[in-house]
Amino acid sequence: MQKDDALDDLLSQLKNRQEQLAEKHGRYVPMALKIAPDLDDEQIQGIADAVRRHRMDGVIATNTTLSRTEVAGLPNADETGGLSGAPVFRRSTDVLKKLAVALAGELPIIGVGGIMGGEDAAEKIRAGASLVQFYSGFIYRGPDLVSEVADTLAKMMMKKA
Ligand SMILES: Cc1cc2nc3c(=O)[nH]c(=O)nc-3n(C[C@H](O)[C@H](O)[C@H](O)COP(=O)(O)O)c2cc1C
């Protein structure tokens, strides 16, 4: 899906449908594209150009990784599928940072991938995210993670003001 033509085709069809539905129901529902953390600089730039061109409402960076570098040698490291949680944090935040530069604030980015504590969420915001999301952290930390992230981000915003 991240290959140029396939992505262009998908976004164009989704955008058309979004517009039709907005007209039919009188309500515009924003649509964000979620991307992988396993992208090189050229792919990141290509995606940034495509989401701008198709007037997407945001980008979610990122999904799980196919890489096993961060867990090499650990039990079950060779299992297939997407890897989430702490091992995806660095890779995911690097993609977010590059995407933020490529988008130059034109579209909001939702930062997700390896947020296990408040400071991780703060780093996503510093890297260019407007919002954060976590999935694996919620499993390991439970609902306390929500208040910890909210407190850390509130303190960060207060320091800025
Ligand atoms: C078991 C599992 C199921 C997931 N299912 C979806 C899904 O259906 N759609 C989606 O966009 N992302 C899905 N994800 C990806 C997460 O939303 C998230 O982007 C990714 O796990 C990285 O964040 P995390 O480190 O906080 O888990 C799933 C992740 C896991 C671990």
Name the residue of 84, 91, 112, 132 whose CB sits within 8 Å of the most ligand 1 atoms, as the mutation to test its pocket. Answer: 84
Residue pair 92/72 in contact (Cβ under 8 Å)? The answer is no
Please give the backbone phi and psi of residue 83, each rounded to the nearest 5 degrees, phi first. -100, 130
Q: Within 10 Å of residue 156's Cβ, how many Cβ atoms?
A: 15
Cα 128 to ligand 1 centroid, rounded to whole Å: 20
Closest atom of ligand 1 to 85 CA is 25
Phi then psi for residue 63, to 5 deg, are -85, -165
- The verdict on the CB of residue 135 being under 6 Å from ligand 1 is yes
The superfamily (CATH) of domain 30-160 is Aldolase class I (3.20.20.70)
26 CA distance to ligand 1 middle (Å): 31
130-148: buried (b, 16+ CB within 10 Å) or exposed (e) per residue? eebbbebbeeebeeebeeb
Q: Domain residue spans in the chain?
A: 30-160
pLDDT tens digit sequence for 2-53: 457 899 999 999 999 999 999 999 999 999 999 999 999 999 999 999 999 9
User: What is this structure's pTM?
Assistant: 0.95
